Structure 1
């Protein structure tokens, strides 16, 4: 097993990521290594380094096609997020809400978590809302002596929980990706089948959030920030751009619910914004450029991850690895824990759950079958194994986003105040509950 091309390739990818090599480059290098070391060649031809390299690249590019819809969805959602960020819509909504959440620490933190959840489904702006929401609230947090580590956990909770448990917005992207990659590996399921299981993943996330609030409930002092750092939101009013952006959000939400297509919903939402003034015609190019900047890199990571998954399947090394892992797993429970821990390592390295799915599905589906898991348990294991590690990863949007807002005044450390707390309070419950739920589902 120690010479298995799949195992060596994944170890190489993790090492490169730990050494802070670019994620996309790490995946590309590891994929090329797996193909060449695994001897991928056109049928009937003798091995040669040049021919294997060219064929590996060809297989990789062909595999990238599996995530084209997901990548397009990400780009279009990025444009919507950029369009919203260029208006005062989010600031106005936040200003209305913030007046009701500043009376109690617990209510404040829970409200932040709920608002963060909306950014993944109701108003799909992803992390773009954080620089608008958090800096104006830092002075209030300081007066209430709220430990920002609790707020970091609340933000990460909202960024992760909706997409792993609800088939709406980014969750629909996640579920579609799960469905496609499982189909690529021989398991055909409907989105409703995934939704009927993945809601369970929200339970350990809620438990983790409650524990974080309890642990970080003690007052924590911060230096008083300058008043000029907080925006005056009371003077903001709804204008043409705000109403146009809101119309686009409503259209995008309704279309994806009715037709189950996020790209179509996002496209019609953008067109609606242009028609009703949410996106000024003269600013269209700048808005698209900003949207691509927000989501483009993640979209391309998912494309190369799909190509990597195809390479791993083509090497033929998965069956050997599956048999070896199954023999040391110690049964279904041990296998479930092992799968989730490996998923944790891969996702922390890559920094995106979406990019992890194509890689682990290629290995986990045959492994789960070998261990005797049923369809529902397989869906849950793959879904949680991909999601675990998104919280706590230094390279993940789910941690970078909260830090960008909470460190606005330079008093919040990315590793110690965001990554470590979110790792402890979300990844550990996900692994424990995930293994237990998988055994329950059989």
Structure 2
């Protein structure tokens, strides 16, 4: 068996058996490395050598977490949760459907802004959702539907809108790799082609979200009653002064500008945190507590991202990613329809292992671009195939920041399982629709 197939399959199996994700990643990586012929010392070395990249990302997420906690101290999220709680009709038989849709639309808007306008990625989830869990329990909202809303909205945002994280994925990674590899084949793609090529695949993701909300998880689901604490409707209304509002808006704007100017989320989040410290959103002596709270909130995600980087390093060290893709090419022959389907499925499998669509593009581009052009696919169809193949699985991998972020927020009261309630629902709804629509896009473009 191909070592990559074995490694990823073993990782998925261990996660389904409720093994901690970090343990599943390390175990599967070492067994896969041994199966490929690596010595145990070489497998460990390959794992350790790749941890640096993941740790850099992990530190960035910790800083983003601290910034998110500092933003929460402004009171904006408390005010939002309190206003929603005030509208909740607690009388017997009340459906409160309007409140439910307000919450869903709030999650969608926050997900989009977190990728394109205020690039804090998934750090908003552990801040925004826990205060609303009490209200969601009263409404009997199935949290699996919320996990799908978050995963699909976040994925659709960076795959379609070319700002923030979208600019990084669409222009700096996807477009750059297509042009770099395609240059030898006379292919030149432009920035305007990329969102058009990704439109249909993204529509597949949004269709999956609609299926989850309106069909799969539409029925009420019971959760244990959780005290509303800060959301008690009898509590005096929360008010914000003008200084708090202006300081928060300035911090968000400067953080965004710095992130774009220096191409660094770490720097943007740090400067935003410093601004909130100086403007009195929280007391000066509370800085360490706020930072520690952000560290604690994002620690699990940062650790798993770091370990996932080592996992991908072992996958690369096996040398069996290229043979896997080459074997796929041999199966295709000259059949474009079969070729598109197999390329998407192999991309799905590889991205589940990497847990990161951004890291999957360079791996797939060197083989997918020549293969697609040889089969006769147009430049836009080639972009759609590569962009979708690399993103498939991102919203359903146990090690994905998207699923980890959803669990971090929805499991704040211990009633949401990472694999059963985040990974499996998001995998089935975000990826199946995208798989079908991406295949259709490759045939039509």
TM-score by length of 2: 0.72
Alpha-carbon shift at residue 433 of structure 1 (Å): 0.9
Cross-structure match for 1:44: none
Matches within 5 A, 1:315-394: 315-329=318-332, 331-345=335-349, 352=355, 354=356, 357-358=358-359, 361-363=362-364, 365-371=366-372, 372=374, 376-377=380-381, 379-391=383-395
Cross-structure match for 1:141: 139
User: 1:340, 1:385 within 8 Å by CA — same for their partners in 2?
Assistant: yes
Residue 278 of structure 1: SS of its match in structure 2? coil
Alpha-carbon shift at residue 426 of structure 1 (Å): 2.4
Mean Cα deviation higher: 110-119 or 320-329: 110-119
1:162 aligns with 2:157: yes
1:293 aligns with 2:289: no
Matches within 5 A, 1:59-208: 59-66=46-53, 70-95=57-82, 104=98, 109-123=104-118, 124=120, 125-138=123-136, 141=139, 150-171=145-166, 178=173, 182=177, 197-198=197-198, 200-208=200-208
Cross-structure match for 1:236: 238
User: 2:201, 2:435 within 8 Å by CA — same for their partners in 1?
Assistant: no
Mean Cα deviation higher: 98-107 or 382-391: 98-107
User: 2:53, 2:309 within 8 Å by CA — same for their partners in 1?
Assistant: yes
Alpha-carbon shift at residue 429 of structure 1 (Å): 0.7
Matches within 5 A, 1:237-252: 237-238=239-240, 244-252=247-255
Residue 67 of structure 2: SS of its match in structure 1? helix
State how far apart, in whole Å, the 2-side matches of 1:301 and 1:176 are.
27
Alpha-carbon shift at residue 436 of structure 1 (Å): 1.8
State how far apart, in whole Å, the 2-side matches of 1:194 and 1:65 are.
31
Pick the aligned partner of 2:442 from 430, 438, 442.
438
Cross-structure match for 2:210: 210
State how far apart, in whole Å, the 2-side matches of 1:303 and 1:402 are.
18
State how far apart, in whole Å, the 2-side matches of 1:415 and 1:253 are.
33
Q: 1:290 to 1:111 in 2, by over 3 A?
A: closer
Residue 240 of structure 2: SS of its match in structure 1? coil
TM-score by length of 1: 0.73
Cα deviation per residue 1:299-329 (whole Å; 9 max; x = unaligned)?
4444444454454445443443222121224
State how far apart, in whole Å, the 2-side matches of 1:72 and 1:223 are.
34
Residue 231 of structure 2: SS of its match in structure 1? coil
State how far apart, in whole Å, the 1-side matches of 2:10 and 2:137 are.
45
Alpha-carbon shift at residue 87 of structure 1 (Å): 4.2
Unaligned regions of 5+ residues in structure 2, if any?
A: 89-95, 184-188
Q: 1:192 to 1:136 in 2, by over 3 A?
A: farther
Alpha-carbon shift at residue 431 of structure 1 (Å): 0.9
Alpha-carbon shift at residue 272 of structure 1 (Å): 1.6
Count residues in correspondence: 421
Q: 1:318 to 1:220 in 2, by over 3 A?
A: closer
State how far apart, in whole Å, the 1-side matches of 2:34 and 2:424 are.
37
User: 2:369, 2:386 within 8 Å by CA — same for their partners in 1?
Assistant: no
Residue 258 of structure 2: SS of its match in structure 1? helix
User: 2:62, 2:298 within 8 Å by CA — same for their partners in 1?
Assistant: yes
Cα deviation per residue 1:343-395 (whole Å; 9 max; x = unaligned)?
44555567x4x2x6536752564245334456654554444344434545667
RMSD between aligned alpha carbons? Answer: 4.5
Cα deviation per residue 1:60-89 (whole Å; 9 max; x = unaligned)?
544445556544432321221222234422
Cα deviation per residue 1:91-147 (whole Å; 9 max; x = unaligned)?
2245567889977365664344224433444443331234345225337635xxx66
Cα deviation per residue 1:268-291 (whole Å; 9 max; x = unaligned)?
212222222335432233333332
Choose between structure 1 and 2 for higher RCO, CA contacts under 8 A separated by at least 6 residues: 2
